[in-house]
Structure 1
Amino acid sequence: MPISKKDRIQREHKKLDALGLRAPVKANGNPVKAAKPTTLCTICKGTFRPDLASQMVLHVNAKHDKSTFAICFPGITPP
């Protein structure tokens, strides 16, 4: 009995998954995007992306009156 195209594709996917060669996909077939790195504000625990430094500076100036960039985000150089 011939194998259907859908079953053949599922077999191929299963083999590639076992070898670790297939990119992760969601249930609807869309690829899973890699998570972007984030950093936490040490005072309010808000999450920010380090590549958007201007957003972090605005956060420090607006939310934390007596704090500095170095206190909120240690280890990251201010822009």
Structure 2
Amino acid sequence: MGLSKKDARTRQQKAAAANGTKVETTAGGVVKKAEKPKIACTVCKQEIIASMPISLRDHANKHPKVAPSVCFPGATIAA
């Protein structure tokens, strides 16, 4: 009798853990994605995903007395 899918997956995970190449997965066995890089607002310290220039612009509008380039120094902000 052959191995079930669950047994095969468990055997593969144990082998990967022994080799030091284990990949993080969810409880269902789906590979977890890496977290996206975030940047913190220098005024209120809220973290926003750095690759979303429109979100950065919208957040910078919450601080009308501060320029968007001051909120997120070095980040690309949508016009």
Query: Cα 1:54–1:5, aligned 2, differ >3 Å: closer, same or farther?
Result: same
TM-score, scaled to structure 2: 0.74
Percent of aligned pairs with the same residue? 32
Matched, 1:76 2:75: yes
SS at match of 1:32: coil
Unaligned stretches of 5+ residues in structure 2:
none
Matches of residues 1-79 of structure 1 in structure 2 within 5 Å? Answer: 5-6=3-4, 9=8, 10-61=10-61, 63-79=62-78
CA offsets 1:12-47 (integer angstroms, 9 cap, x no match)? 320112213343211221111111011011111111
CA offsets 1:48-79 (integer angstroms, 9 cap, x no match)? 11221121112112x10110112111122444
SS at match of 2:25: coil
Inter-partner Cα distance in structure 2 for 1:54 and 1:8? 46
Inter-partner Cα distance in structure 2 for 1:64 and 1:46? 12
Unaligned stretches of 5+ residues in structure 1:
none
Displacement, 1:8? 5.0
Which runs of 4 or more aligned residues in structure 1 lie more than 4 Å from their structure 2 counterparts after TM superposition?
Answer: none
Larger Rg: 1
Query: Cα 1:52–1:8, aligned 2, differ >3 Å: closer, same or farther?
Result: closer
Q: How many residues align?
A: 76
